[in-house]
Structure 1
């Protein structure tokens, strides 16, 4: 019998031999221009999902510090055990108002918000239809729903007609459709209007993950029961996730969503930071930051709907080499490889932020041109 140490060593070597070995880099700071501490080099990072640069906003940082002074660094236990802090309730009320729902519930991460929601709402007597390119947290949530007895069907990416066909036969079962709003590796947007139309036809619950959505996609979701899942760690620059839905759905999650029931609550600092960031997002300053972000996108990919810009290369070694070439020019753009994307579709993933300067974006464009690399818009 192979011992654990031998098995672990063999698995590591298999990853290395496949050319898929990964190591961590250390960045000294969250601003776009920063230092890689284990190499000493300075880079402009185009790797962060801090789309509006709010993680570095003075008001957001001050709110986190104030929360630590009042409530300490941790929540102590799950909220069903130790209770909520006032800041949890305040953030949830503001999130519900922002998303236009009756209620909201915060989770420690966006990942746990998706897995907890899907595993709670989908079980025996449910058919779940999931977009083929949904995020791993949605995939894992669907797997958990499947273990609870739901039937999981996958429809072709952004294809409402295939979704309609998948829902043609329900045999009296409830239907749940789940999709990202913005897909994290291609930066394209789901056809939510058409998907909502299919949900109306089949009386399906629509679960929408807004994690990477910065701009309003303007979809008409009226007449559909909608659950909005989101993150506090990207556009809002903090940490955590949330679900915004009807009051009864949120009450059900409080009682049955295992990642909520059995996990220590979101820290006061993260909660306060997200609340301060949400206030900025909904203000004139937030609108100005979105305009700046839109201007940056137009420099690299005119008309592209999101700040996620893929540069599809293909083979893994070529993508890694392209990332290294940009790093030599002081630009951090990570290579995305399997299992995050399918083999043969390895890419660079450019993530733009309102915190980038115009000069930094022009530097990136010049470097991409020099290396004969182009954004692969859908």
Structure 2
């Protein structure tokens, strides 16, 4: 590596370290209580899903071997796309290797410099990056503020307008007012795209999400969902009318130029989807855990944001304080997400706590006791805050 490149990397590293924002990976311990992941229904650990994946590997092999458009699109992929389309009440669905690739692929394929994209200010990074990649004119409206969106749309002279929002916001756990987004988008002749990564499997009829079968493709033409959260596997999908899916197959670079999802993952996802639709007790257990956790946490005076989803943010503000709390929990065998800028706005560092149907009441009580201990430690040492 040349001296110039070494200096550039060293400067970037030093800058981030001095800001106390250097990220590190932890190897997850099997014995740790996981309140950081997105396995909301616990299906990643379900033996039926694991066996379906193993059987898929025995039948189809470990990998697809090629892109979907060459020779990597197998019968199990086709079956999964059909199942996802039926589940979400759409004409067709299209598999992507990751949610990030799905969002980049949709926005790059649909938008260009003749398009205006309007995004919620707290949208996921993949949506922000996808808009930038597309070359479109991009504006961001205030979080969950359809009045601001209406004003931006009303001033736009672009013929092709696209409104984009998360369904459930990944760092705050709140839910977009999709009915209002539909109304405003239709009034201004704009298409609406919802990334329901954290809603599918958890919310709606049969777990079909914030949008799912409740809103038609005429109302929400572009629906994105991921498979690596509530469904417990990996990958993503886009669902919509046949015209949309055909367009993505032809023009979405992140679909065309990558190896297809491993067929064993598709087989596992089909089993997970069967469980989600046929066993609503998983969602019932998750909702009971959310209700219990919030009741007990608020009783302890812990400053949790308003959220009815598995994502429960504890806003601590200060980044050093957030890291200290996360470290104390880690030493007690509890994993939580410690989220700092630039992932969230400055001054809004937080512990991102996520709940799962796998958690037992004793697990939640252990987490609450540890959080209460952190709170009491600060009270005893207020100059540390």
* Aligned CA distance change for structure 1 residues 103 and 175 (closer, same or farther; 3 Å): same
Q: Partner of 1:111 in structure 2? A: 100
State whether structure 2 residue 219 is matched by structure 1 residue 224: yes
Note the C-alpha offset of 1:333. 1.2
Aligned ranges for residues 103-182 of structure 1 at < 5 Å?
A: 103-145=92-134, 147=135, 150-182=136-168
Q: How much does 1:14 deviate?
A: 2.1
Measure how far apart 1:256 and its partner are: 0.6
Q: Structure 2 CA distance, aligned partners of 1:180 and 1:248?
A: 23
Give the gaps of 5 or more residues in structure 2: 296-305, 377-385
| Match in the other structure for 1:78 | 67
Where does structure 1 lack aligned partners over 5 or more consecutive residues? 29-33, 36-42, 374-378
> 2:182 pairs with 196, 201, 218, which one?
196
In the alignment, is the contact (CA less than 8 A) between 1:78 and 1:263 conserved in 2?
yes
SS of residue paired to 1:371: helix
More displaced stretch, 79-88 vs 316-325 = 79-88
Identify if the C-alpha distance between structure 1 residues 371 and 77 changes in structure 2 by more than 3 Å, giving closer, same or farther. same
Alignment check: 8 A CA contact 1:297 1:304 kept: no
Q: Give the number of equivalent residue pairs.
A: 356
Q: 2:286 aligns with which of 287, 290, 293?
A: 293
CA-to-aligned-CA distance 1:2-22 (integer Å, 9 cap, x gap): 522232223222222221122
1:218 deviates by 6.1
For the Cα contact (< 8 Å) 2:98–2:226, is it kept in 1? yes
Shift of 1:367: 2.0
For residues 104 and 331 of structure 2, what CA distance do their matches in structure 1 show?
Answer: 39
Q: Given that residues 308 and 351 in structure 1 are in contact (C-alpha distance below 8 angstroms), is that contact kept between their aligned partners in structure 2?
A: yes
RMSD, matched Cα: 1.7
Evaluate the alpha carbon distance shift between residue 44 and residue 265 of structure 1 in structure 2; reply closer, same or farther with a 3 A threshold: same
Q: Check conservation: 2:172, 2:307, Cα contact below 8 A.
A: no
TM-score between the two structures when normalised by the length of structure 2: 0.89
Structure 2 CA distance, aligned partners of 1:259 and 1:115? 7
1:318 matched to which residue of 2? 321
Say whether 1:4 aligns with 2:12. no
SS of residue matched to 1:228: strand
Asked whether the 8 Å contact 1:196–1:221 carries over to 2, the reply is no
* Partner Cα distance (1:13, 1:331) in 2: 29
2:383 maps to which residue? Answer: none
Aligned partners of 2:85 and 2:93 also within 8 Å? yes
Contact 1:203 1:224 in 2 (8 A): no
Corresponding residue for 2:381?
none
Q: 2:362 aligns with which of 355, 359, 363?
A: 359
State how far apart, in whole Å, the 1-side matches of 2:104 and 2:23 are. Answer: 26
Q: Distance in 2 between matches of 1:353 and 1:88?
A: 28
What residue in structure 2 maps to residue 97 of structure 1? Answer: 86
What per-residue deviation string (whole Å, max 9, x for no partner) do you get for residues 210-231 of structure 1? 1011212666645525211010
Instruction: Tell me, yes or no, if the aligned pair for 1:299 and 1:362 is still in contact at 8 Å.
Output: no
Contact 1:76 1:265 in 2 (8 A): yes
Q: Distance in 1 between matches of 2:159 and 2:112?
A: 10
The match for 1:31 is: none
Separation of aligned partners in 2, 1:83 and 1:340: 35
Q: Is the 8 A contact 1:180 1:209 kept in 2?
A: yes
Looking at structure 2, the residues matched to 297 and 71 of structure 1 have their Cα atoms a distance apart, in angstroms, of 39
Corresponding residue number in structure 2 for 1:274? 269
Q: Aligned pair 1:25/2:11, yes or no?
A: no
Instruction: Indicate how the Cα distance of structure 1 residues 321 and 83 shifts in structure 2: closer, same or farther if over 3 A, else same.
Output: closer
1:159-203 Cα offsets, whole Å, 9 max, x none, are 011111110033251111110000000100001111111012112
Distance change in 2, residues 1:289/1:311 (3 Å): same
Q: Comparing 5-14 with 78-87, which one deviates more in the overlay?
A: 5-14
